[in-house]
Amino acid sequence: MISVEKVSKEFTSKSGKVIGVDNVSLRIHKGEIYGIVGYSGAGKSTLIRCMNVLERPTSGRVIVDGVDLLGLSSKALRKARLSIGMIFQGFYLVSSKTVFENIAFALKAAGVDKTKRKERVMELLELVGLSDKIDHYPAQLSGGQKQRVSIARALANNPKVLLCDEATSALDPSTTKSILKLLKKINQELGITIVLITHEMEVVKEICNRCAVMQDGRIIEEGPTYELFAEPKRTLTKQFIHSVLDFELPSKLVEACTGRLVQLQFRGKLASEAIVSDMLQQFKVSGNILHGKVEYIQEKPLGIFIMELTGEELEVTSAIRYLEERLEQVEVIQ
């Protein structure tokens, strides 16, 4: 659906050239939700704006649904953009227009007649759950409601792609969850491909099929979201994962432990198997779970536990070897 091929974007400042995107290549499949995560200044917003040529790449190619956007005339590009909706952190609603008028404006600009505009706006308001706010103005709406209007406006012309630039960053956690649930519904019911820019790994975990981690204008790691959570390879990716799966033990607790501390990871169906209890029955060791959590990513469980094993050294070593043979990741902390 979207192919970004060796795209770079340079800006000129008083101090010289600044590289916003540095030779990035990505393939985003039709019908998936793809996340791009990175800290501020990583280049992720510039990259997503290159995908609809709001920022024209300095070099490379951007192909959306088989069309090379950089090879189009200005008129053809404007037409192609009708199939690419976009929502932003700041909503960008016209304060002097009602909810109805804000959504209808996108349809009017596309040449849709008045009768069909009204029908389409009503459909969209029902989809985003705002049918009762049709005559309200943006100042009368909450942040989440404003973003729902922005989503409805972005969907007005039946796009095939929806680009979301930090769409939940200005929202509280509860509202963020409701917006992510709406985006997932749109993806599943309408088959729209969604690209989601964020600096929050929690957002990626909630709805993204695949994701990429961006740093200094480059993609440093990419893959299925579950795999990135289960086995991150780059330091920055590990930092992002750590923000969701926080397993820092208090130093006083660690110092008080007399046994071996091990961190265990349970993937998929292993999360429901009695591997630890079987180990405790087979070996003369005692086990004390100090920390643990099970997250569901793409509806697959990922469990991480830290436990203390005590007993004779040979028994503890044998117990750890037993765990290593049955789990994909066992790390001896001390």
User: Which residues are CB-neighbours of 231 under 8 A, at least 6 positions away?
Assistant: 328, 329
What's the pLDDT score for residue 185?
93
Residue found under tokens 């030779």: 23
Q: What CA–CA distance (Å, rounded) separates 103 from 136?
A: 12
What's the pLDDT score for residue 61?
94
* Burial track 218-252 (b if 16+ CB lie within 10 A, e otherwise): bbbbbbebbebbbebeeebbeebbeebeeeeeeee
What's the pLDDT score for residue 271?
61
What's the pLDDT score for residue 216?
94
What's the pLDDT score for residue 218?
95
Crossing angle for the helix pair 114-127 and 143-154, to the nearest 10 degrees: 130
What's the pLDDT score for residue 139?
93
Question: Which residues in 14-80 belong to E strands, given as ranges?
Answer: 16-28, 33-37, 59-64, 67-68
What's the pLDDT score for residue 56?
93
Q: What CA–CA distance (Å, rounded) separates 330 from 274?
A: 16
Query: In this structure, are strands 300-311 and 218-224 parallel, antiparallel, or unpaired?
Result: unpaired
- Can you give the pTM of this predicted structure? 0.88
What's the pLDDT score for residue 82?
86
- Kindly compute the dihedral angle of the four CA atoms of residues 219, 43, 58, 193, in this order, to the nearest 10 degrees: 70
Q: Residue 265 has what DSSP assignment?
A: E
Judge residue 66's burial from the number of C-beta atoms within 10 Å of its C-beta, 0-12 exposed, 13-18 middle, 19 or more buried.
exposed
Give the residues of the chain that fall short of pLDDT 70.
247, 270-273
Q: Largest Cα–Cα distance in the chain?
A: 81
What's the pLDDT score for residue 272?
61
CB-facing half-sphere around the CA of 139: CA atoms within 13 A? 3
CB-facing half-sphere around the CA of 105: CA atoms within 13 A? 15
Nearest to 65 by CA among 107, 11, 27, 24: 27
Give 145-160 pLDDT, tens digit per residue.
999 999 999 999 899 9
Nearest to 304 by CA among 325, 328, 287: 328
What's the pLDDT score for residue 234?
92
What's the pLDDT score for residue 60?
94
Give 87-111 pLDDT, tens digit per residue.
988 888 899 999 999 999 888 888 8
What's the pLDDT score for residue 270?
67
- Beta-carbon count within 10 A of 4 CB: 22
Structural domains in the chain, sorted by start: 2-231 (3.40.50.300), 251-332 (3.30.70.260)
